[in-house]
Homo-oligomer: A and B are copies of this chain.
Amino acid sequence: MVGGGQGAFIGGVHRIAARLDGEFELVAGALSSDPERARASGRELGLDPERCYASFEEMAKAEAARADGVEAVSIVTPNHMHYPAAKAFLEAGIHVICDKPLTSNLSDAMKLAELVKNSGRLLVLTHNYTGYPMIRHARQMIAEGALGTLRVVQAEYPQDWLTEAVASKQADWRTDPSKSGAGGALGDIGTHAYNLARFVTGLELDRLSADLSSFVEGRQLDDNAHVMLRFKGGAKGMLWASQVAPGHENGLKLRVYGSKGGLEWEQEHPNHLWFTPFGNEKRLITRGGVGAGAAAGRVTRIPGGHPEGYLEGFANIYAEAARAIRALREPGSSIPDDVIFPTVADGVEGVAFIESCVRSSKENGAWTTL
């Protein structure tokens, strides 16, 4: 693991997610850019001190040289470090599991995509919401035509933790363009909403029109993003991401409407999916329940009514990564078709989305392609 030392939030999430199915073991880390904190964090996690590195460069080199070196690395640093860290490990022949957004700018993202292609190694991007079983089911339903021709996509991700100016490890880098990239709320959560909409619907974006705001005085990046979407083929959409919406913790919500029906899903109640076939009664499909299909079933651990949550969804990304890594161990074999995880291409698109929104907003909402 790179990043995720003391005081970080997402590092702990990755560790639990990796451990949940017993597929990964944490054996080495460059857990902080501060060597002292890196060591202390490693100690806390029971790492062999020899494998607690002071930098990711050192770690990539050393682990690549060990017979028992890591097969994969999780990168959970602030955004601007994703690129150099991922580069170091890919070049060392080590698979990369990387937090989103892929990089802090599009140029890095595209270089990384090239690197992945040439390395033959995996880059798994933790757009973790794609791991929720009911999201998999929604995707399957749409792919099978249950909604008919798609028309309208409403995506939103409101939070409230930046309603006031805050100073904290979490808040500081997310509101600093040099670490976060061009997007604030947009990069942190807007990309999740965008990625989820794309993942579930399969629609491709034609163009977007964005209106970004920074409501808290002195904030350099957007804390509220309003975006109108036009998809290829004629579907339309809206996307709202906000970190200044009091009352919302992680209100990611996706609604999709087609000529034959609608779907609605909320991250805070992830075990439920509403299906509203036009001209029929509304149906509530539950994870593990009767209507949940094969795609959901493959990533479901426990029976319906016993809620699975965020960590399980996140762990599904790791479980998919494990299947893919295992498949690649055998020369000549390839990743099974039903293994699904967000790739470097999704990552490039996410960064392009951020930059296009920023560009559109600067041009007063001009319709912009990715």
Contact = CB atoms under 8 A, between A and B. Distances in A.
A84 interface: no
Contacts of A211: 209, 228, 230, 236
Question: Nearest 10 CB-CB pairs, A to B?
Answer: A249-B305, A247-B276, A250-B305, A309-B309, A307-B309, A306-B310, A246-B278, A246-B262, A247-B262, A281-B283
A114 interface: no
Contacts of A154: 156, 240
A28 interface: no
A152 B224 contact: yes
Counting chain B CB atoms within 10 Å of each CB, the highest count among A255, A264, A271, A305 belongs to A305
A4 B244 CA distance: 46
11 contacts: A19-B19, A152-B242, A209-B228, A226-B237, A226-B238, A249-B303, A268-B271, A282-B283, A283-B284, A308-B309, A309-B309
Q: So how many copies of this chain end up in the complex?
A: 4
A284 B272 CA distance: 14
Contacts of A336: none
Interface in A304-326: 304-312
Interface residues of A, number: 85
Contact of A310 (B251, B307, B310): B307
A247 B248 CA distance: 23
Contact of A244 (B251, B257, B277): B257
Interface stretch (A33-41, A50-58, A66-74, A287-295): A287-295
A249 B288 contact: yes
A6 interface: no
Contacts of A278: 160, 163-164, 246
Interface in A153-200: 154, 156, 159-160, 163-164
Contacts of A280: 290-291
Interface stretch (A8-16, A86-94, A99-107, A348-356): A8-16
Counting chain B CB atoms within 10 Å of each CB, the highest count among A245, A275, A279 belongs to A245
Given A306-B309, A308-B310, A309-B306, A257 B283 contact: no
A269 interface: yes
- The residue among A264, A270, A283, A310 with the most chain B CB atoms within 10 A of its own CB is A310
